[in-house]
A = this chain, B = another copy of it.
């Protein structure tokens, strides 16, 4: 253990100079490595190539009995697809709406409909209120925050604790402020911390008294079957909990097959109480001619059921777990002894969350970028892109090859050391 925080100035200066030499030598390599977005790698996508051939013309002619899925109709999706997503989210098929290829888009649309028309329990549309606010457990998912920012929804940062967001703070805020209309949650293998909400957190979210009568939980269960271990944590069923606590309409759940099959050509779904679903279906029938039912058939035929999905996700884990392990090993071996950084050890999901010394994240991301290693923008994991301690960096290890990843993460470690010695000097 060489705690850099307690190192004398002379040693620090020497170390800094040595690191700088190493760093400068990297520039000549003209690297171009990307760890910025949670994208599956090509080998993962290859696992689903049968999807392209499974709903062939022959298959469709066979299936084509009661409903012609090529034609218009079926705004809520095929019953078979609703059953499949019912298994994934542990809800009834009649609590499901199937969307297009993007759960982000379903979340966006749910917000824009709420702004323009309100939700089922609203007195007036959210957009007609003088001001509305969302709670944003952070670090969190930048694309959730971008939707709020685009629509001028004020974001309140909530700290993430070890078992989910800071519930004491949340309960205090929602009980007093009726302009707080919602909260963003990634409850399983949270983006980027990899935290799965504890039973207590889920229960308290369902139970808490909110001043706004139309408060909604946006439950983005994006990584619900995306395990990296054999004994995955179990997430309490929020819809069931909300019903039991007398708030059946409080939650909108979202998920998709984006990181199960193909990110660009998957199937998204949302789940909620039947009252919510019926309210939304009415608006959806004005908004669209309905989702792509042939792609739903492809997914139903290919994924079959939850058991088969679990097997399929093991194949994903076989490809990406070595990448997570390599990043964690290098972080430990390169930074472990210096007491200048900490990082998550996720049991699933797509990210490793790295915390540097306060005030170093922007510098690290810039240093890495200058030698050809792209990281998610520093601050991106916080509302308005502003990390109050400027320390969080989201590492996305899935897309690069193992060799690329090794180079990239070694460079990140070097950049963390460099920024830390500079800061401590």
Contact = CB atoms under 8 A, between A and B. Distances in A.
B101 A292 contact: yes
Interface in A258-312: 258, 262-265, 283, 286-295
Contacts of A265: 70, 292-295
Contact of A102 (B74, B150, B288): B288
A213 to B, nearest CB: 22
A302 to B, nearest CB: 12
Given A69-B264, A127-B116, A295-B295, A258 B289 contact: yes
A56 B57 contact: no
A50 B286 CA distance: 31
A105 B117 CA distance: 17
Given A115-B116, A265-B292, A105 B287 contact: yes
A263 B100 contact: no
A25 B381 CA distance: 71
Contacts of A72: 37, 39, 258, 263-264
B71 A263 contact: yes
Contacts of A70: 45, 48, 262-265
A172 interface: no
A60 interface: yes
Contacts of A315: none
A166 to B, nearest CB: 27
Interface in A137-167: 143, 146-147, 150-151
A286 B143 contact: yes
A52 interface: yes
Interface in A299-349: none
A70 B263 CA distance: 6
A296 B290 CA distance: 18
Contact of A289 (B42, B57, B264, B291): B264
A60 B49 contact: yes
A20 interface: no
A53 B262 CA distance: 18
A59 to B, nearest CB: 8
A349 B52 CA distance: 32
A40 interface: yes
A63 to B, nearest CB: 11
A60 to B, nearest CB: 6
B289 A102 contact: yes
A116 B114 CA distance: 11
A235 interface: no
A88 interface: no
Given A52-B294, A105-B287, A264-B292, 16 more contacts: A39-B71, A42-B71, A45-B70, A52-B57, A52-B60, A53-B53, A72-B258, A73-B264, A102-B289, A104-B287, A108-B288, A116-B127, A146-B286, A150-B283, A262-B294, A295-B295
24 contacts: A42-B71, A52-B55, A53-B53, A70-B262, A71-B264, A74-B264, A100-B292, A102-B290, A104-B287, A105-B289, A108-B286, A108-B288, A112-B116, A116-B116, A117-B150, A258-B289, A262-B294, A264-B289, A264-B290, A264-B294, A265-B294, A292-B292, A292-B295, A295-B295
Interface of A: 37, 39-40, 42, 45, 48-50, 52-53, 55-57, 60-61, 68-74, 100-102, 104-105, 108, 112-113, 115-117, 127, 143, 146-147, 150-151, 258, 262-265, 283, 286-295
